[in-house]
Amino acid sequence: MATSLSQVFRDTHLQPKHIIPLDFDTVRELPDSHAWIQTDDFSCAYQIRMNELPTTIPVIDLQAPNVVELMGNACRRWGMFQVTNHDVPSSLVDEVVEHARRLFALPAEQKLKALRSPSGATGYGVARISPFFSKLMWHEGFTIMGSAGEHAKQLWPHHYEDFCDVMDNYQKKMKSLAYKILLLLLKSLGVDEEDQQLLCSSSASLYQSESALQLNSYPTCPNPNRAVGLAPHTDSLLLTILHQNDINGLQIFQEGIGWTPVPPVPGALIVNIGDLMHIISNARFPTVYHRVIPNETRHRFSIACFYGPRLILSLHHCPSFRSLVFDL
């Protein structure tokens, strides 16, 4: 019998564990719900082939005269690069991380006041891809689209303004950086002025793109060898701009090599190609399959900014689109 997407969504009941993170402060051992089966695929190329370390993703100076060529090459080969000289003040990045640290340090019952609703896209919760996996991730996140006000008030009824201002400023900086990078990438693909106009006026309207901000927290983990911070996935939009603190954990999958670490470079931001950019580039840029492994002694934080066409981002709120992307 034929069924509509919205019907599928109505029939899909998210279980609480697919929204509510574990209260990490209360556990001393890895619970079975979070213990992933160890397979060969699980281990990292870095650990199994210490003698033949794969070269890692390029670090590109945004002001370099040949930046178009450098970015084009990096995206064709890796779908990813790190960017320096990007004009995002390190003081602003530090402030965002400090606010994230403060948010995730709140008691669980306080964080749950800003819990993402089952049909919503913003607020506190586990990664949206969680229902795809039988085990749970060693991770908690907080998603912001536009103003963070609504959820920040639930967390700090009297002192939420500073949090909102910092998140607003960071989103503005990220949007303008993502736009700059998008233009450079289109140029590297040979998109001429006329085609740029076309993309501009089409329903995809790339030039009116918006962003969503995701604060990620990976608490210290009693058994990181069997836990997964963020399960293997690709990001769905055009570009992701990521700040990771100084703790390893992010890995990308390379055909024929395996899982390869992306080491933190102080001051650099990671840029990775998402599914939409992969499509727009006619598959010349690969979308990056990546994951995060937690750490035994240090709490890892990252700040991801997802940049994509306004229409598609607003559809992330819409149940039938969500069921298409996340539930099928």
Range list of H helices, the chain: 5-11, 45-48, 67-77, 90-104, 108-111, 149-155, 161-188, 193-201, 275-280, 310-315, 319-322
Selected range binding Fe ion among 49-57, 58-66, 219-227, 235-243, rule: CB under 5 A: 235-243
Catalytic residues: 300
Strands 300-309 and 209-218: antiparallel
Find the shortest distance in angstroms from Cβ 147 to ligand L37FFZMX: 15
Phi and psi at 197, nearest 5°, equal -60, -40
* Beta carbons of 235 and 275 less than 8 angstroms apart: yes
DSSP secondary structure string for all residues of 223-244: -TTT--SEEEE---SSEEEEEE
242 binds ligand AKG (CB under 6 A): yes
Comparing CB distances to ligand AKG, the nearer of 151 and 290 is 290
- Scan residues 273-312 and list those touching ligand AKG (CB under 6 A): 290, 292, 302, 304
Q: Minimum CB separation from ligand AKG for residue 107, in Å?
A: 23
135 vs 37: CA distance, rounded Å: 9
Cβ neighbours, 10 Å, residue 302: 25
Give CA–CA dist 19/116, Å, rounded. 7
What is the smallest separation between the CB atom of 2 and Fe ion, expressed in angstroms?
34
Rounding to the nearest 10 degrees, give the CA dihedral for residues 5, 10, 13, 19.
80
Binding mask 177-216 for ligand AKG (x = CB under 6 A): -------------------------------------x-x
Residue 42 or 160: the one with the smaller Cβ distance to ligand AKG is 42
User: Interface with ligand L37FFZMX by CB under 6 A: which residues?
Assistant: 121, 127-129, 143, 212, 214, 233, 235-237, 306, 313, 316
The piece of 114-122, 148-156, 242-250, 311-319 that touches ligand AKG (CB under 6 A) is 242-250
Q: How many residues does the chain have?
A: 328
Identity of the residue, 214 or 245, whose beta carbon is nearer to ligand L37FFZMX in the bound complex: 214
Report yes or no: 185 and 179 within 8 Å, Cβ to Cβ. Answer: no
Report yes or no: 116 and 143 within 8 Å, Cβ to Cβ.
yes
Other C-beta atoms within 10 Å of 248: how many?
17
Cβ closest to ligand L37FFZMX, residue 67 vs residue 236:
236
One of 83, 114, 250, 268 touching ligand AKG (CB under 6 A): 250
* Residue of this chain nearest to Fe ion (CB atom): 235
Distance CA 23, CA 256 (A): 38
Number of residues that bind ligand AKG (CB under 6 A): 11
Tell me: does residue 235 bind Fe ion (CB under 5 A). yes
Which one, 178 or 237, has the nearer CB to ligand L37FFZMX? 237
Provide the binding-site residues for Fe ion, judged by CB under 5 A: 235
For binding to ligand AKG (CB under 6 A), which residues are involved?
A: 214, 216, 230, 235, 242, 244, 250, 290, 292, 302, 304
